[in-house]
């Protein structure tokens, strides 16, 4: 018998809602991005994020129910992101999820945001089978993990400092490209000359799969300080930054495939939307005879579909208990 899960994502600056059916797959989803709210501040303002989620969650639930022609009696459970993320933002989604679960008399389960990202490629066809190596690259995380099954995650390497998405965002700010930085950098990098500046590939000479991205942002800053910042120079620095970040990720992914003897690589998280990264990883995987799995671009960044899907796997842990706890910091392993 199929089970239908309503998923709610509110960990940062996107409000996402979706309905996932364990037999039919994703039935529908909706997203509200708060980019316009935070743009003038150059980054996410936690208090504003929480307030925006409160305003948007219920209308999005209504919209997804209407779009999928479901009513509340078709929903068997509710999944919500309970961490990691911004505390106020997480509380907004969690409170609505628990309230709906009470009103609809269904169980609710809190899911891990990064587990949602990691399982997002399973929304696609073909879906990756276990085991796989996962590269999680977002605004808050950069990690490689060996994934043997749901909840069986062995961290192979993480970042010592900035997450790669954070490095994209900070470098974009230095270049005056605004927020969010990842898409802005990748756009202007297309016009850049890849031979003009060469940035370091951090940590690649050391064994293992540990990352460090704060030095790249500093390399960008030092270059900015030494040059007149015209349009071409901005594009050239963006290009040098993106090439260095992408090559570093690709080298570590190759190492992870070789060391685990696994021939499936799954890439997820906001930076997974980067086209240069997708292309370079594909080339590496082809050479390694490994299969590469991505979510579609819209499911790389935060969304409700991945939370509904992760919730379907975690429904056995759901409870009717109305108390809830959010976990702004929550390791995945
Ligand atoms: O997964 P996500 O939506 O939110 C977090 O859980 O953090 O990731 C957001 C991050 C931001 O740092 C954003 O700049 C980055 O993903 N990002 C990109 C691209 N699209 C989003 N980075 C590089 N290239 C992109 N096309
Ligand atoms: Zn995310």
Considering the domain architecture, whether residues 170 and 61 belong to the same structural domain is answered as: no
Q: What is the pLDDT of residues 271-304, one digit of tens each?
A: 999 999 999 999 999 999 999 999 999 999 999 9
Q: Are 306 and 290 in the same domain?
A: no
Task: For residue 188, give the nearest of 199, 172, 173 by alpha carbon.
Answer: 172
Compute and round to an integer the Cα radius of gyration of the chain: 20
Q: Looking at the structure, do residues 286 and 304 belong to the same domain, yes or no?
A: no
Range of the domain at 186: 129-294
Position 333 in a domain: no
pLDDT in tens, 265-279: 999 999 999 999 999
> What 3-state class would DSSP assign to 17?
strand
Atom 7 in ligand 1: residue holding the nearest Cα: 139
Q: In this structure, what are the phi and psi dihedrals at residue 186, rounded to the nearest 5 degrees? A: -65, -30
Q: Is the CB of 121 under 6 A from ligand 1?
A: no
Model confidence pLDDT, tens digit, residues 58-91: 999 999 999 999 999 999 999 999 999 999 999 9
pTM of the model: 0.95
Shared domain for 133 and 260, answered yes or no, is yes
Residue 19: phi and psi, rounded to 5, are: -120, 125
In a domain, 15, yes or no: yes
Is ipTM over 0.95? Answer: yes
Q: Is 138 in the pocket of ligand 1 (CB under 6 A)?
A: yes
- Residue 326 falls inside a structural domain: no
Q: Which residue blocks in the chain are alpha helix, DSSP H?
A: 35-39, 46-67, 87-104, 113-119, 164-174, 181-189, 214-226, 231-260, 275-288, 304-314
Do 133 and 270 lie in one domain? The reply is yes
Is 223 found in the same domain as 94? Answer: no
Q: pLDDT value at position 321? A: 87
Residues 133 and 258 in one domain: yes
Mean pLDDT, range 220-242, rounded to an integer: 97
User: What total of structural domains would you count in the chain?
Assistant: 2
Q: How far apart are CA 268 and CA 249, in angstroms?
A: 13
Distance from Cα 168 to the centre of ligand 1, integer Å: 8
Q: Are residues 201 and 115 in the same domain?
A: no
Instruction: Let me know whether 45 and 191 are in one domain.
Output: no
Same domain as 136, residue 270: yes
Amino acid 60: pLDDT:
98
Question: Ligand 1 pocket: which of 142, 271, 277 to mutate (most atoms <8 Å of CB)?
Answer: 271
328 belongs to a structural domain = no
The verdict on residue 206 lying in a domain is: yes
Strands 132-137, 142-149: pairing is antiparallel
- Does residue 285 lie in a domain region? yes
Give the Å distance between the CA of 89 and the centre of ligand 2: 13
Say yes or no: 189 and 287 in one domain.
yes
Q: Read out DSSP for 287-300? A: HHT-EEE---GGGT
The enclosing domain of 221 has a CATH number of 3.30.420.40
CA distance 263 to 151: 20
Q: What's the pLDDT score for residue 203?
A: 82
**Calpha distance 245→240 (Å, rounded):** 9
Residues 147, 115 share a domain: no
């Amino acid at each position: 018998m199929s089970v239908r899960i309503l998923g709610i994502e509110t960990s940062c600056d996107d409000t996402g809602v979706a309905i996932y059916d364990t037999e039919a797959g994703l039935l529908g989803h909706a997203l509200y991005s708060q980019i316009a709210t935070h743009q003038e501040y150059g980054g996410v303002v936690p208090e504003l994020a929480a307030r925006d989620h409160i305003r948007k969650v219920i209308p999005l639930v209504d919209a997804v129910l209407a779009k999928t022609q479901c009513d509340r009696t078709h929903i068997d459970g509710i999944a919500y992101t309970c961490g990691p993320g911004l505390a106020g933002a997480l509380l907004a989604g969690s409170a609505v999820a628990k309230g709906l679960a009470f009103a609809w008399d269904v169980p609710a389960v809190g899911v891990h945001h990064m587990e949602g990202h990691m399982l997002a490629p399973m929304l696609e066809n073909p879906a990756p089978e276990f085991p796989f190596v996962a590269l999680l690259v977002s605004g808050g995380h950069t990690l490689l993990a060996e994934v043997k099954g749901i909840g069986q995650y062995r961290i192979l390497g993480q970042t010592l400092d900035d997450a790669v998405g954070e490095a994209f965002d900070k470098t974009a700010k230095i270049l005056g490209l605004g927020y969010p930085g990842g898409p802005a950098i990748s756009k202007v990098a297309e016009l850049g000359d890849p031979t003009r500046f060469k940035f370091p590939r951090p940590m690649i000479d050391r064994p293992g799969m540990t990352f460090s991205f704060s030095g790249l942002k500093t390399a960008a800053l030092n270059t900015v300080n030494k040059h007149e910042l015209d349009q071409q120079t901005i594009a050239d620095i963006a290009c040098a930054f993106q090439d260095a970040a992408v090559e570093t990720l690709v080298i570590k992914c190759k190492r992870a495939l070789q060391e685990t003897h696994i021939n499936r690589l799954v890439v997820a998280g906001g930076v997974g939307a980067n086209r240069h990264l997708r292309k370079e990883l594909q080339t590496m995987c082809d050479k390694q005879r490994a299969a590469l799995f991505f979510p579609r671009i819209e499911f790389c960044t935060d969304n409700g579909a991945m939370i509904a899907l992760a919730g379907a796997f975690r429904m056995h842990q759901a409870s009717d208990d109305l108390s809830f706890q959010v976990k702004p910091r929550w390791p995945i392993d």
